[in-house]
Structure 1
Amino acid sequence: MCGIAGWVDWECDLTRQRTVAQAMTDSMACRGPDAEGLWLSERAALGHRRLAVIDLEGGAQPMAADRDADQVVLTYSGEVYNFRQLRETLRAAGHRFRTRSDTEVVLRGYLEWGESCVEHFDGMFAFAIWDERRQELLLARDRFGIKPLYYAVTDTGLLFGSEPKALLANPGFSAQVDAEGLAELFGLNKGRSPGHGVFRGLHQLLPGHTLRVERHGMHPTCYWRLGSHTHEDDLATTTATVRGMLEDIVERQLVADVPLCSLLSGGLDSSVITALAARGLQRQGMGKPVTFAVDFENSDAFFRPSSQRPSQDAPFVRLMADHLESQHTDVMLRPSDLAGQQEHTLGARDLPGHGDMDASLYLLCREIRRHSTVALSGEGADEVFGGYPWFVDQPPESMRNFPWRSTIPDIASLLSPDARQRIRLEEYVADRYAEALAEVPYLEGEAAADRRIRELSYLTLSHYLPLMLDRKDRIAMAVGLEVRVPFCDHQLLDYVFNIPWSMRTTSGAEKGILRAATADLLPSEVATRRKSGFPAVQDPVYDEQLMARLEGWLADRSSPLDDLVDRQHLAAMLQDETQAGVGWRRSRALAKNLLEIDGWMRRYQVRIC
């Protein structure tokens, strides 16, 4: 796992722009603390920061190979899990290897198969290849978009990087947001339009896509997309197939030349991954698994069950850790630990995030990084198997909008009427929803209920999951921790996406097919545990701190959001909830979002245009 950055310019001699190219590369230092490299030619600059995971001595980047007296140069982030098999295939085709790294497999894969090399790669990756002979740049991203890759078109070329900060380090790109970007932040909130970078002119390369850039234009290609087909397997075969696929996926993702651990929340998803990893490690003679969990001090005293978090993690974490005899560490946090973390989390994400949820994840990852370089995560199971409440509870309004928008407080309610009109918020969200539905790969002859589940699955995978993956990648890589997500495997997704809902929820349980496929791996209490969200601080001390920050914001007329937010409406909402004796549950969530956006605009000096 690494950080990449680069620049192509058809008019400027980039051999004279080393200082700027180095600044772009240096901005990725958090993603790659182990080594750095910069390659320059007249038309291209490729930078790399390395987090060494495989072949620690080899694999330095940017990596170059000669072809017809010209160089082909690669800067690459990620892991290709089938690199060993591909290396043998390429050797049989006449290629010679200097290293044991998957980086060289990617480079020689391009030399052998050209742009279609991505179709051979199984893993999480984002890379750029400059072909000096063709004078072409190739950008590529994995099928799920697990690894980020941003780009912006300039008057004379293109900038790219693993994170927006790489582009912001170049004078040719500035921190601006227009009405469309504001609509993404205030309208879509927990989701994000695929490919949209929020900053004006910033794009993300779409998952499963390549982008070929040459002097006369850009040529995007979709090399993978989710498809629909009739599911022919019976329940027993389906259960066995899911189990077999998961065993194979986790086994392949244990490959590392550095310490590896597992994130363990005591929920179904992380417990399944950890249990499968434990078996894989045992087969390889690598000892017991290493596990980590996060919790808050005195959480027992303040915990209040809710529909989103019906149970605490701690009892299930202990049960699972004892069951696997793992080398386990609980990372205990205090509310005061979260104070002051916004600078770190905003700096990690370059965009507004999830407030205290990001802060606790950051502190967890920071502690893990003291012991491990790679962590396995259960991220993606709810999206792949359909574990979110909106798959079951479908209020009428969810049929006309992205389903998760009915489950969270609407931050757009804080906008002034004038701002809503200028941003065209409702129209923007409706257009994005219509576009998303138009992409759904429907199955001919499908019943209405199954058709709606297919829509919900596709919307969740295409618009909700990317933001969750981006959060996990950016927060973890801010401290140099590589997180692998076995549930985000394209072959598993292609299979599960087409399992009928009645079979996916076998035994009447959420993610029933996953529970059935893995029940023998887990204690029964864990195997039957209902979904419970990421731990959130419930200590009144934190609420007091948040309220103080919000009151300070209401009194501060220098906020960059001053012309957008209806302060009187927010103040009245706080007063109404307090007088009603219900605390400030709704405005608490809104306050966190508002303060995140405000902090982001201040930190990056974002100009509204």
Structure 2
Amino acid sequence: MCGIVGYSQNHPQAIQEMLQSIRHRGPDDLGIYCDEGFSLGHTRLSILDLSHAGHQPMEFEHLVIVFNGEVYNFRAIQKELLGLGYTFFSDSDTEVILKAMHCWGEKAVDKFIGMFAFALWDKRKEELLLYRDRVGVKPLYYYFEGGELLFASELRAITAIKPNLALSQAGLYEYFQFGYISSNLSIHQAIHKLPAGHYLRFKAGKIEVKPYWSIHTFLEMPPFEKSEEELIDELEELLVDAFKLRMVADVPVGVFLSGGIDSSLVAAILQKHHGHIHTFTIGFENPRYNEALYAKGVAEHLGTEHTERILSAEEAREILYRFPEVYDEPFGDSSGIPTLLVSKVAKESGVKVVLSADGGDEIFCGYERYPIAHSLSRKILSLPYPLRAFAGRAMESFGAKRAGYLFKVRNLEHKFNQLSEMLRAKDLEEFYELLVHNSKNYEIKELLGETFPPKSRAFKVGERIHPMQGMMSWDYERYMVDDILVKVDRATMFHSIEGREPLLDHRIAEFAARLPFNMKFREGKTKYILRKVLERYLPKEMIERPKMGFGIPMFEWFSQDLRSLFETHFTPERLKSSGVLNPSYVLRELGKLQRGEPVNVNKLWLILVFLMWQEKAR
């Protein structure tokens, strides 16, 4: 795991500044390449070939590369290249990628199994190629204005050279709607994310961005016509291969273990087929959030070397105040706090690579909200749209406040407005988005003054298979990439360790896309096929337990801290200086909290994170 940067000028000083801003991503080495066409920089966390032979930027003939991530099957590709007459001076995957691109050109990426973001500068063609892995595990931002291109692993490296950029209104809307900024957007209008499974070509002051892989291709294929046992066997074989590949490293490797299905599956398969696995769990004194007992039971059954730590509010409080520093654009997922803390525990235990079991929910139908949303949508959307729209408008005209005064139901005003919006949903995608919003459309409109409804082709592609597959596809392309994977990348990199995502091997995603839907969800049971594989490793009673998620008792812990932070930042002057927030709306919501009235504290948390980020960014 490393950090990469680049600039379409011969500017070593700018590259140095960019690298220093993301030095936490790679404290082991630093390198710069500059010529008249382009400048590249790399800061290295040494995982493979710890010698200087793995130094980057790396050159071969007319090509120069900077690379972040891991290509796990590099030895197989290297063997193929050796047969074609190539020689190698290092034992690094970077050199294999470089020479694979030299040999096969853009088609080489089809051979790579792994997580990656890399830049390839062709001195002969005066052309730059940027690639991001198929699923989007590794981040890659770019700025392009007036023929000038900058790119970096993190946003902060670009803003170090281009400060005071205008905010993106669409990005702001996404943040306050979902708690993260999705798609190719960022918080800045001039900076974008390279989408997962895409490449960018820069030549003669122009760019083009194109896909080279999409999960849609596999969702649109006919489902497998195989027996249940054949599918379970095939998936297990694929999981074993994918997980073992991710143990390739010249440094100690560990696994984050929650005791849930996904992390238990990773730990179980690796302990059996690799051995000597070190697992890490954090726990809490509050039993509502504490999964440590489940994780300990799994670890004892498997015989892993297990490290458990009960984390206190004091430790979490340190992270709370540094949150905007870690996530360098507004990021409202509070589970980033325990992710940072478990990364710290792994780092202190001497581990340099950790495996995190993300992706199973989005690929194998794991979220409990899917069947709930499906059931609710069937009841509401079955009504004719004109009737629903009329009822929604009537509710809006009647007024949520008036309803609240009349019926005296707790938080009725919010529920009234939410139902009014859901009744007017034009389709299932809009209905689902309304369910997963942190802040509803009426709230964002009052906070920001405008809305930017997002749309995703992924939902429609998945919905042809099953309504819940549409929800999964939406989460796969948005929530998973731009919340879950961002959270893990920044948390691990903040502590200079590498996070790997074994369930997000693209071959597993392709396989899952072609599974009959009843192999993912059956008779009210989520992750049906994953459970069947796990039953081969763990007793059934250790598998069948309620899903808890990776949360913390945030508002119980931070009630005083948050109230203090709210009151410090939510002043008329600070709110007005934000330039985008409606002070009267924020102060009205804060007043509810202070008076002990029903209020969405998570909504206030999103506003707080934005203001803390903005203050730091100025």
- How has the CA–CA distance of structure 1 residues 566 and 333 changed in structure 2, closer, same or farther, with 3 Å as cutoff? same
Q: CA deviation at 1:536?
A: 0.8
1:457 to 466, 469, 472: 472
Supply the distance in 2 between the matched residues of 1:50 and 1:179 (Cα, whole angstroms).
Answer: 34
Matches within 5 A, 1:473-552: 473-506=489-522, 508-537=524-553, 540-552=556-568
1:109-158 Cα offsets, whole Å, 9 max, x none, are 11001122111111000000111111111100100010001111132421
Post-superposition offset of 1:200:
1.4
1:354 equivalent in structure 2:
332
Alignment of 1:247 onto 2:225: no
How has the CA–CA distance of structure 1 residues 127 and 30 changed in structure 2, closer, same or farther, with 3 Å as cutoff? same
- Equivalence for 2:286: 299
Task: Tell whether 2:92 aligns with 1:101.
Answer: yes
1:285-339 CA distance string (max 9 Å, x none): xxx211111123x323xx3xxxxx7xx3022011011112222112322212222
Residue 40 (structure 2) pairs with residue 46 (structure 1): yes
CA distance, structure 2, for counterparts of residue 550 and residue 201 of structure 1: 30
**CA shift digits 1:137-183 (9 cap, x unpaired):** 1100100010001111132421001011111121x454430322222
Shift of 1:513: 1.1
Task: Look up the equivalent residue of 1:215 and give its one-letter code.
Answer: A
Q: Which residue of 2 aligns with 1:229?
A: 221
Question: 1:604–1:233: structure 2 CA closer, same or farther, 3 Å change rule?
Answer: same
Which letter does structure 1 place at the counterpart of 2:262? D
Query: 2:76 is matched with which residue?
Result: 85
1:556 deviates by: 5.2
Residue 574 of structure 1, CA deviation: 5.6
Which of 66, 69, 72 is the aligned partner of 2:63?
72
Structure 1 pair 129–562 and aligned structure 2 pair: CA distance change class (3 A): closer
**Whole-angstrom distance in 2 between the partners of 1:369 and 1:159:** 31
Alignment of 1:370-449 (within 5 A): 370=348, 371-394=350-373, 395-396=376-377, 397=422, 399-401=428-430, 403=432, 405-407=434-436, 409-410=438-439, 414-415=443-444, 417=446, 420-421=448-449, 424-425=450-451, 428-429=452-453, 432-433=454-455, 436-437=456-457, 440-441=460-461
Tell me if the contact between 1:345 and 1:475 (Cα under 8 Å) persists in the aligned partners: no
Q: Per the alignment, in what secondary structure is the counterpart of residue 200 of structure 2?
A: strand
State the partner residue of 1:271.
Answer: 264
Report if aligned partners of 2:117, 2:133 keep a CA contact under 8 Å in 1: yes
Q: CA RMSD in A?
A: 2.3
Q: Secondary structure at the match of 2:137?
A: coil
Secondary structure of the corresponding residue to residue 575 of structure 2: coil
Give the structure 2 partner of residue 128 of structure 1. Answer: 119
Amino acid at match of 1:333: L
- Which amino acid counterpart does residue 286 of structure 2 have in structure 1? S
CA, structure 1 residues 539+575, in 2 after alignment: closer, same or farther (shift >3 Å)? closer
Letter in 2 for 1:116: K
Q: Give the TM-score normalised by structure 1.
A: 0.87
The one-letter code matched in structure 1 to 2:267 is: T
Distance in structure 1 (CA, Å) of the matches to 2:542 and 2:577 = 45
Which whole-Å CA distance do the structure 2 matches of 1:408 and 1:203 have between them? 22
Q: Which letter does structure 1 place at the counterpart of 2:3?
A: G
TM-superposed CA distance for 1:531, in Å, is 1.9
> Which amino acid in the other structure matches residue 42 of structure 2?
H
Shift of 1:524: 2.5
Aligned in 2, Cα 1:52/1:361: closer, same or farther, shift over 3 Å? Answer: same
Gap change, CA 1:323 and 1:405, over 3 Å in 2 = farther
Q: Is the 8 A contact 1:415 1:565 kept in 2?
A: no
Which range is displaced more, 71-80 or 359-368? Answer: 359-368
**Compared CA separation, residues 525 and 383, structure 1 to 2 (3 A):** same
Match of 2:383 in 1: none
Please list, as runs of the form range in 1=range in 2, the aligned pairs for 1:110-259 lying within 5 A after superposition.
Answer: 110-170=101-161, 172=162, 174-187=164-177, 189-190=178-179, 192-226=181-215, 227=217, 228-231=220-223, 232-259=225-252
Instruction: Assess, with a 3 A threshold, how the Cα gap between structure 1 residues 83 and 546 changes in structure 2: closer, same or farther.
Output: same
Amino acid paired to 2:475 = T
**1:262 maps onto 2:255 in alignment:** yes
Secondary structure (helix, strand or coil) at the match of 1:552 reads helix
Task: Give 3-state SS (helix, strand or coil) of 2:536's partner.
Answer: helix
Question: Which one of the candidate residues 278, 294, 303 is aligned to 1:290?
Answer: 278
**CA spacing shift, 1:526–1:565, aligned 2, 3 Å:** farther
TM-superposed CA distance for 1:587, in Å, is 2.3
Task: Measure the CA separation in 1 of the matches of 2:438 and 2:245.
Answer: 40
Cα 1:534–1:211 change in 2 (3 A) is same
Which stretch shifts more, 194-203 or 531-540?
A: 531-540
Structure 1 unaligned blocks of 5 or more: 283-287, 304-308
- Report SS of the residue matched to 1:392: helix
Return the alpha-carbon distance in structure 2 between the equivalents of residues 442 and 382 of structure 1. 15
Tell me the distance in 2 between the aligned counterparts of 1:470 and 1:495.
24
In structure 2, runs of 5+ residues without a counterpart are 378-421
In structure 2, the CA distance between the partners of 1:563 and 1:155, relative to structure 1 (3 Å rule), is closer
1:473 maps to a residue whose letter is: D
Asked if structure 1 preserves the Cα contact closer than 8 Å seen for 2:365 and 2:527, the reply is: yes
